[in-house]
Structure 1
Amino acid sequence: MNKITPGAAPRPDEPQPDLAAAVRRLSHANVLVVGDVMLDRYTYGDVHRISTEAPVPILTIEREVALPGGAGNVVRNLTALGAATAFISVVGDDPAGQDLTGLIGGHSNVEPWLLVQGGRTTTLKTRLLAKGQQLLRADREQTDPIHPKLAERLVRIALDAMAATSVTVLSDYGKGLLCGDVPAKIIEAGRKMGRVVVVDPRGADFSRYAGADVVMPNRQELAAASEMPVDCEAAIIAAAQSLRATHGFGAVVVTLGNDGMTLVDASGWQHFPAEAAEVYDTSGAGDTALAMLSAALAVKHDLSVAVRLANLAAGVSVGKVGVSVVREADLLHALTPQRSALRKIVSCEEAAEQAERWRHRGWRVGFTNGYFDLLNPGHIHLLEQARAACDRLIVGVNSDSGTQRLKGAPHPIQPEAARAAVLAGFAFVDQVCVFDTDTPEALIENIRPDVLIKGANHVAEEVVGAERIRDWGGRLLLVELTDETSPPAAYSPVP
């Protein structure tokens, strides 16, 4: 078995690892993921009445989102860290399989091998949600083992891909991919090639994963596989040690939800308390932890450091709404939580995720945008009035290239980094994101603000996003300008 030598529990006189530096190395990881992929479809809407046909709520659909789930969510989290990923799975020749092929193939740093089995049903999970509350989940799936010939082909591809990657992840969701001797063949190949194999197990029979370097069961899986109680720390450690001895695992990392994680290996055990400050949604946290652990091992981090990062990533994940990925910036922010104005500057994706979290807490989210090239009192007046109309304000800023396209030379006078930093320094601005498109239409669509704010020099019908915001119950606010706004760069007729 390829041995991973973890560090012992740190003593007070030992130097602590630089976790921020460890996080920055994760983008150099190269990981192979083999596992069950599924399509997660989210249908969002609102409920205003009960059906007359049956005592059930009527969901008025506003939008639908489709994401790769299962092992596909592990891949999403790896790519969010910047890691290069090879992905091997099986889909059916159905619309869900086609959607997954398109979604996963769209990632630039993923090498996908989605094998197609004719007549097989691709796992599809459809969730109906209103105001952050899941009303119903409907599953369509087929869990019998994949065709033997397809399994042989899958193993051959996996062995070739292992040669080009540092860590192999077996993400078992019990949907028929990692059945029979498929896990054993991959683990044996990893041993011969000197590759680390990490397993997210399923079911009570862990003998299928014998010889794996790391297995990551949760509390319930640990109890089922060991047939031992897990009602206290000592019992958890004993059960994990039993699994190591029985199946030759290098290490067992037990995920314990709100209680954190426990690592048991040849040198003993370490417990890592949960890192979450606030819990919004636990969906996908296990996939996030698995991706983080694997990426950390791929860049040769010590196992105890890898578990600390996985525990941290899980804590960040449950602080998000829905199955959201965890990025480098999220981890660095969690490691240095002190408030800083520059931390308000986020990507457009992060702004949309934060807006969803704020709405989940019942806060009204406002959005305004502009060039904000040379700030004047009129700009500040607009921003103050915008913040007064909502609980949290997101400001979109035209990028340098976008500003030059729309306004021509010599604009912008100030580079986008400087313009964003100045805006972030105001207490009445909660987040700033730079967008490169000519209009903020796509950004507004993703953030879905409750209030869209512009200067009163705009005509309501011409404001980008004004028509769409009414579709989800939001409103447009036109703020009266002050005499100091001349000429108003932020309120340019260009949307």
Structure 2
Amino acid sequence: MLDQTLSGSVGRISPEAPIPVLKAEARKDGLGGAGNVANNLSRLGCRVALIGVIGTDPEASLLIGLLEREGIESRILVTKQRCTTRKMRVVSARQQMLRMDFETTDPVDDSTENELIRRIMTALDEGPDAVILSDYGKGVCTPRLCRTLLDGCRERKVPVLVDPKGADWERYRGCTLITPNLNELCLAARRTIPNEDRDVEQAARELMNCFELDRILVTRSDRGMSLFSGESALHEKTVAREVFDVSGAGDTVVAVVTAFLAAGASLEEAVRAANRAAGFVVGKAGTYAISREDLLTELHQGARSASLSKVVPLDRARSLVEAWKSGGQRIVFTNGCFDILHAGHLFCLEKAKSLGDRLIVGLNSDASVRKLKGPGRPVNPESFRAMLLAALFPVDLVVLFEEETPLKLIEALKPDCLVKGGDYRPEEVVGSETVASWGGEVVIVPRIEGLSTTAILQSVLQKDAGGICQSGKGIPDTEAGGGGFLR
């Protein structure tokens, strides 16, 4: 559809009726609807083909020109039977005053439907990485067209993401991911749903069961978005900022999620990126397609907060692990005090991450470190130690524990691989029997000789006293295993 914005200034009230008179000054044409989804994908660097229906009117020519300008391949069907869908927003002083819709909402006729299906199947035979079904309730996404597309994607093992419309989700049965907003979720559930985590999850799971949906991503305005997959739930809080215009935010979400999935990212990573992207576009006037540079800047600015978000309580960690495992990802676990972070730690963390898809680090709390090391430790409090670990690229989650050993964490998270640094035999590692009971493995990472927190601290003390220490030689290592990894 074509998005048009008519802007100008208002200086008086009409003598004909109590309404403002706009002095029109400018008109801006843009891609809307599925065109906006395609534009987001194109600006993110994806190759995109767009299939839909337009009329033979002047608006159709404008729309085709915009697609060409943005490098989007048009496979749109032109018909005399319908007008080109157009939305015109009237704006003054950055305030939307009125919206006018020019559209046909009757279902397309049989010949148009058949030609659309033919074009869809041709596109599927070309091997796309993903397909988006953007339904705007304009009569194009008929039940037969949706069913044919979904069946074709399933046969070819192509993920299909759906941006739904209306109360009837039967046509979307079996899709990979569906992305309703809260109002659309209420329509499909046929009841009002409070915007609370528990209520949204209950409705989402009912619909997942009813329509055989693999996953649901619900966008929830100022409450962010919630992903439900299998038994897991992921709630991403909104990025706090001033909201200027929510037009097209849903298009941006489905586009970013699809782009990330097609590039091989996990669904959780895709959702987090989409949350940042949506927060960015709502601060823009009118419908705005986010660019690759925009998104990279957003993700960079959110890197610090993203690192801190890696530090989670056990319940949250368990939920995330369930989501990762349902997506076929391999979970690796290690633990330690990490009092003074050094190269030995990084070496072993990188090695641990290479053994799977996700690395979880169990971190001894301050009280736990004191039990193990004595009253003079830790040097750095748990909040600092957790922050540093979370900032490291190999680390996906940091979970604090109060006990002397991480056995409780291991039993709760059920990792596929347990990693320990130092001179141990696998059977000596805490949790080895537990991990083996569900078919997991234990891996010992050799330590880097001379690198340990204890050696570093003793070296500092000796230098302060006028002594010289080279590579920790001659300094007794009091840490278990002397590994420089786990302590």
Aligned match of 1:133: 95
Query: Judging changes above 3 Å, is the alpha-carbon distance between structure 1 residues 122 and 184 closer, same or farther for their aligned structure 2 residues?
Result: same
Change (3 A) 1:86 1:185: same
Question: What is the CA–CA distance in structure 1 between the aligned matches of 2:231 and 2:130, rounded to whole Å?
Answer: 22
1:36-75 → structure 2 map (5 Å cutoff): 38-75=1-38
Distance 2:302 2:55 in 1: 48
Q: Which residue of 2 aligns with 1:123?
A: 85
Query: In structure 1, how many angstroms separate the alpha carbons of the residues matched to 2:298 and 2:68?
Result: 31
Q: Which residue matches 1:239?
A: 203
- Structure 2 residue matching 1:181: 3-state secondary structure: helix
CA drift of 1:60 comes to: 1.4
- Does 2:103 correspond to 1:145? no
What per-residue deviation string (whole Å, max 9, x for no partner) do you get for residues 113-152 of structure 1?
Answer: 1101213122111111111011211111110011211111
What is the distance in 2 between the residues matched to 1:262 and 1:125? Answer: 29
TM alignment of 1:329-340, pairs within 5 A: 329-337=293-301
Shift of 1:59: 1.3
Distance in 1, matches of 2:294 and 2:302, equals 13
User: 1: CA distance between counterparts of 2:101 and 2:302?
Assistant: 42
- What is the alpha-carbon root mean square deviation over aligned residues? 1.6
Question: What whole-Å deviation, never above 9, does each CA across 1:59-92 have from its counterpart, x for those lacking one?
Answer: 1121111112111111111111111101001001
Q: Distance in 2 between matches of 1:301 and 1:151?
A: 34
Moved more, 201-210 or 277-286: 277-286
Q: How far apart, in 1, do the equivalents of 2:264 and 2:10 lie? A: 50
Q: Secondary structure of the equivalent of 2:25?
A: strand
CA contact (8 A) 2:208 2:215 kept: yes
Partner of 1:198: 161
Paired with 2:270 and 2:30, the residues of 1 have a C-alpha distance of 26
Structure 1 residue aligned with 2:388: none
Q: Quote the residue 2:450 is aligned against.
A: none
- Distance in 2 (CA, whole Å) between partners of 1:50 and 1:219 is 37
Structure ranking higher on relative contact order (CA contacts 8 Å, 6+ apart): 1
Q: 2:60 maps to what in 1?
A: 97
Listed as ranges, the gaps of 5+ residues in structure 1 are 1-37, 340-495
> Contact 1:229/1:235 (CA < 8 Å) preserved in 2?
no
Q: For the structure 1 residues 60 and 169, does the alpha-carbon distance in structure 2 shift closer, same or farther, using more than 3 Å as the test?
A: same
Q: Which residue of 2 aligns with 1:114?
A: 76
The equivalences for 1:466-481 within 5 A come to none
User: Which of 142, 153, 167 is equivalent to 2:130?
Assistant: 167
The alignment status of 1:307 with 2:274, answered yes or no, reads no
Distance, in Å, in 1 between the alignment partners of 2:46 and 2:296 is 16
2:284 aligns with one of 320, 341, 358: 320
Distance 2:186 2:95 in 1: 30
Name the CA shift for 1:274/1:64 in 2 (closer, same or farther; >3 Å): same
- 8 A Cα contact 2:87 2:99, kept in partner: yes
User: Structure 1 segments of 4 or more deviating over 6 A?
Assistant: none
SS at match of 1:60: strand
Separation in 2, partners of 1:209, 1:336? 35
TM-score, L = length of structure 2: 0.60
Offset from partner CA, 1:374-410 (integer Å, 9 cap, x none) = xxxxxxxxxxxxxxxxxxxxxxxxxxxxxxxxxxxxx
Does the aligned pair in 1 maintain the 2:6–2:28 contact within 8 Å?
yes
Counterparts of 1:98 and 1:331, CA distance in 2? 30
In 2, distance between residues paired with 1:135 and 1:280?
14
Kept in 2, the 8 Å contact 1:276–1:316? The answer is: no
Q: Equivalent residues in 2 for 1:204-283 (5 A)?
A: 204-231=167-194, 232-283=196-247
Q: Could you tell me how far apart the structure 1 residues matched to 2:25 and 2:173 are?
A: 47
The offset of 1:267, in angstroms, is 4.0
State the 1:313 CA deviation: 0.8
User: Following the alignment from structure 2 to structure 1, what is the Cα–Cα distance between the partners of residues 240 and 57?
Assistant: 39
Equivalent pair of 1:228/1:239 in contact (CA under 8 Å):
no
Q: How much has 1:153 moved relative to structure 2? A: 1.3
Q: Separation in 1 of the partners of 2:66 and 2:108?
A: 22
Q: Which runs of 5+ in 2 are unaligned?
A: 304-487
Distance 2:98 2:298 in 1: 33
Instruction: Give me the whole-angstrom Cα distance separating, in 2, the residues matched to 1:227 and 1:50.
Output: 42
Amino acid at match of 1:57: P
SS in 2 for 1:336: helix
CA distance in 2, matches of 1:172, 1:276: 29
Q: What is the rounded CA distance, in whole Å, between the counterparts of 1:105 and 1:335 in structure 2?
A: 29
SS at 2:45's partner residue?
A: coil
Give distance in 2, aligned partners of 1:166 and 1:230.
34
1:294 aligns with 2:252: no
Bigger radius of gyration among the two: 2
CA contact (8 A) 1:45 1:60 kept: yes
Letter of the 1:145 partner, please give it: P
Aligned residues: 301
Structure 1 residue 338: Cα displacement:
8.8
Equivalent residue runs for 1:312-461 within 5 Å: 312-337=276-301
* Shift of residue 228, structure 1, vs aligned partner: 4.8
The 2-side partners of 1:241 and 1:119 are apart by: 40
Pairwise CA distance, 1:57: 1.7
Paired residues of 2:253 and 2:277 also in contact (CA < 8 A): yes
The structural deviation recorded for 1:104 is 1.3
Q: How does 1:27-42 map to 2 (within 5 A)?
A: 38-42=1-5
Q: CA deviation at 1:229?
A: 4.7
Judge conservation of contact 1:146–1:176 (CA < 8 Å) in 2.
yes
Query: Partners in 2 of 1:139 and 1:326 — Cα distance?
Result: 24
TM normalised by structure 1 equals 0.59
> Given the alignment, which residue of 140, 154, 178 partners 1:177?
140
Which residue identity is paired with 1:181? R
Are the equivalent residues in 1 in contact too, given 2:273–2:299 (CA < 8 A)?
Answer: no
Offset at 1:227? 2.9
CA contact (8 A) 1:74 1:290 kept: yes
In the alignment, what sits opposite 1:429? none
Paired amino acid for 1:272 = E
Asked if the contact 2:216/2:229 (under 8 Å) is kept, the reply is yes
Q: Is this contact kept in 2: 1:276–1:319, CA < 8 A? A: no
Aligned with 2:250: secondary structure? helix
Shift of 1:180: 2.6
Deviation of 1:56 after TM superposition, in Å, equals 2.1
* Paired letter, 1:198: L
